[in-house]
């Protein structure tokens, strides 16, 4: 069963028994967990009200401490004791996030770390499948695939980019969940070892608000510190995908999982090559193109003369994209917001260019909030032959897919990838064709 509470998707939310708060523990209740919600929390009900519960999973009975009762429609709670454990529960991969610690002292960023890896993927598939049904009107089971080597390491050692925060006393560590409280930790099990080894435990107070460690696939790791959104210094780095190198700024965007760039490049290239509709001479695009990773995947299918334009709002990333795409004579990089760029195409494209756009394959890899109505509506107006949508948020993806399907596109393949083990995040690649 699927329902929604203030916009949050709830999977399997059905009434369950809960013991009321008692005099000894006025903020604790016993709950039966019946479903999973988008966002890494599980679901129970207390006197008919939805309760979102951390550090548990469907099928468990837990004692939970109410942490937020300010909303009329739902409450929040943190598990403090497991009364009846799911067979899918495991010891947490991060000791400082374990159930034996007080919720306020648990490190955030590994909210699925107590769940067996294969079951994490099943839960992510459930959320993705039900999101598609709710927001896109699609009844389709979706598989979430694991990534090479993750099973061998139990989903640890994959993060090539790690941010730790610094408190007023100079203590360095992750934030606690839904908090700006810095938690000191002995290690970072989700990080690649080269990155984990360089995160300090303390800095001089006032030196910085955060520490980033970037461990590229080629070259030595880079340590950045900063305040607000501004890094103190920067450096150019090289990432290698197959036999191709991509240059970028150390503080710029790149996929976090050590194998994610290769996985997504392969998924995009395979989707484009397999359907026989790709036209190298069309006005192909990579929207939200970053430093040109997926534009290169497109161009790799079509060959040296492939026409492809990467569109990215960061001028720094666009400069790198121009360099990274230099092997293809038909490739170029544009610095622009995607919505404004598409507005310009819709206004100024010649009849010949509109024909090339209709024959085009367009890849879009938007930020977590999705492409949104303005971008989707422009795509519906321009009506390219094929869309390859790379998404990191199931609900945002489903909303955009719903709009595209209503506008006449048909969904071909859709596959999930577990590029964020031990977190609730999931990547998906959807392929659509003009009907």
In whole angstroms, give the CA distance from residue 32 to residue 17.
6
Q: Is 392 an active-site residue?
A: yes
CA torsion sign for 198, 199, 202, 208 is positive
Which residues make beta-bridge pairs with 221?
Answer: none
Tokens of 206: 């006032």
Tokens of 138: 């699609």
Three-state secondary structure call for residue 261: helix
- Active site residue: 196, 392, 419, 431, which one? 392
Annotated binding residue 288: yes
The DSSP element (H or E) to which 245 belongs, if any, is strand 244-249
Annotated binding residue 312: yes
In whole angstroms, give the CA distance from residue 207 to residue 37.
38
Per the CB < 8 A criterion, the answer to whether 6 and 73 are in contact is yes
Per the CB < 8 A criterion, the answer to whether 34 and 2 are in contact is no
Per the CB < 8 A criterion, the answer to whether 427 and 269 are in contact is no
Annotated binding residue 365: yes
Tokens of 317: 């990333």
Annotated binding residue 188: no
**Sequence ranges of the binding site for S-adenosyl-L-methionine:** 255, 288, 312, 365
Give the annotated binding-site residues.
Answer: 255, 288, 312, 365
Residues involved in catalysis = 392
């Amino acid at each position: 069963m699927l329902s929604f509470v203030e916009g949050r998707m709830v999977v399997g939310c059905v009434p369950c028994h809960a013991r009321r708060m008692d005099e000894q523990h006025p903020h604790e209740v016993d709950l039966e967990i019946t479903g999973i919600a988008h966002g890494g929390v599980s679901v129970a009900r207390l006197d008919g009200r939805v309760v979102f519960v951390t550090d548990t999973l469907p099928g468990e009975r837990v004692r939970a401490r109410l942490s937020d009762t300010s909303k009329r429609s739902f409450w929040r709670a943190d598990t403090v004791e497991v009364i009846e454990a799911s067979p899918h529960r495991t010891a947490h991969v991060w000791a400082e996030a374990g159930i034996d610690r007080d919720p306020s002292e648990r490190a955030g960023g590994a909210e699925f770390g107590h769940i067996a890896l294969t079951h994490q993927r099943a839960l992510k598939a459930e959320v993705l499948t039900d999101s598609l049904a709710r927001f896109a009107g699609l009844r389709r089971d979706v598989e979430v695939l694991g990534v090479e080597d993750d099973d061998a390491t139990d989903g640890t050692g994959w993060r090539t980019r790690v941010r730790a925060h610094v408190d007023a006393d100079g203590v360095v560590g992750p934030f606690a969940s839904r908090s700006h409280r810095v938690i000191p930790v002995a290690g970072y099990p989700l990080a690649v070892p080269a990155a984990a080894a360089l995160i300090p435990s303390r800095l001089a107070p006032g030196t910085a608000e955060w520490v980033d460690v970037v461990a590229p696939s080629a070259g030595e790791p880079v340590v950045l510190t900063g305040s607000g959104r501004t890094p103190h210094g920067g450096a150019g780095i090289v990432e290698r995908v197959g036999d191709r190198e991509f240059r970028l700024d150390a503080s710029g965007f790149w996929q976090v999982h050590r194998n994610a760039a290769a996985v997504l490049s392969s998924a995009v290239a395979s989707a484009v090559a397999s359907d026989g509709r790709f036209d190298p001479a069309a006005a192909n695009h990579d929207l939200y193109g970053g430093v040109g990773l997926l534009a290169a995947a497109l161009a790799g299918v079509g060959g040296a003369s492939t026409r492809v334009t990467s569109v990215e709002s960061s001028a720094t990333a666009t400069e790198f994209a121009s360099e990274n795409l230099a092997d293809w004579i038909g490739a170029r990089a544009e610095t622009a917001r995607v919505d404004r760029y598409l507005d310009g195409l819709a206004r100024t494209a010649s009849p010949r260019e509109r024909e090339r756009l209709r024959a085009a394959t367009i890849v879009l890899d938007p930020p977590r909030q999705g492409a949104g109505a303005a971008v989707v509506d422009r795509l519906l107006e321009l009506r390219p032959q094929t869309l390859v949508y790379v998404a990191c948020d199931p609900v945002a993806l489903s909303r955009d897919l719903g709009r595209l399907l209503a506008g006449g596109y048909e969904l071909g393949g859709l596959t999930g990838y577990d590029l964020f083990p031990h977190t609730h995040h999931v990547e998906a690649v959807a392929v659509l064709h003009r009907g």
